[in-house]
């Protein structure tokens, strides 16, 4: 099996079986973002206590890239400090620019090929941008 095939399978698995899809009740912040160029939209919820992401969930509509990226991102940031989550977002941005990076949550690496399709980068980064925006809100 080629690496591209494996990556496609990981992306489709997250798209068809999204992790952390849904909402939670109680305290937390909600960030709504959309990508007007393609219609992708996400509503991200995060519970943060003592500077640590306790939970993250999302709902939304979009292509397999945006929804699988949201699934991967919510898995990756749980239990991380806000600074660690921001560092991950920075690393993801670098991955989208073509840098070869490894992630603790390896599924994220399946999105590395997106950088070959500039129009799809906004799809992949939508959830990550929502997370960054949420962290700014928490810090304020």
Per-residue confidence in pLDDT tens, the chain, 140 aa:
576 887 889 999 999 999 999 999 878 999 999 998 889 999 999 999 999 999 999 999 999 999 999 999 999 999 999 999 999 999 999 999 999 999 999 999 999 999 999 999 999 999 999 999 999 998 88
Going from N- to C-terminal start, the domains of the chain cover 3-139
Cβ distance 95 to 39 under 8 Å? no
Tell me how far apart the alpha carbons of residues 66 and 108 are, in angstroms, rounded to a whole number. Answer: 12
φ, ψ of residue 134 in degrees (nearest 5): -65, -40
Residue 1 burial (C-beta neighbours within 10 Å; 0-12, 13-18, 19+): exposed
The CATH code of the domain at 3-139 is: 3.90.1010.10
């Amino acid at each position: 099996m080629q690496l591209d095939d494996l990556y496609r399978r990981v992306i489709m698995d997250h798209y068809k079986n999204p992790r952390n899809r849904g909402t939670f009740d109680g305290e937390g912040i909600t960030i709504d973002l959309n990508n007007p160029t393609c219609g992708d939209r996400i509503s991200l919820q995060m519970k943060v206590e003592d500077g640590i992401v306790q939970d993250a969930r999302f709902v939304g509509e979009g292509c397999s890239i945006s929804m699988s990226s949201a699934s991967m991102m919510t898995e990756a940031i749980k239990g991380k400090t806000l600074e660690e989550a921001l560092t991950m977002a920075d690393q993801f941005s670098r991955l989208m620019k073509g840098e070869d990076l490894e992630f603790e949550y390896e599924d994220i690496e399946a999105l590395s090929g997106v950088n070959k399709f500039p129009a799809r980068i906004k799809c992949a980064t939508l959830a990550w941008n929502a997370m960054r925006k949420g962290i700014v809100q928490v810090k304020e």
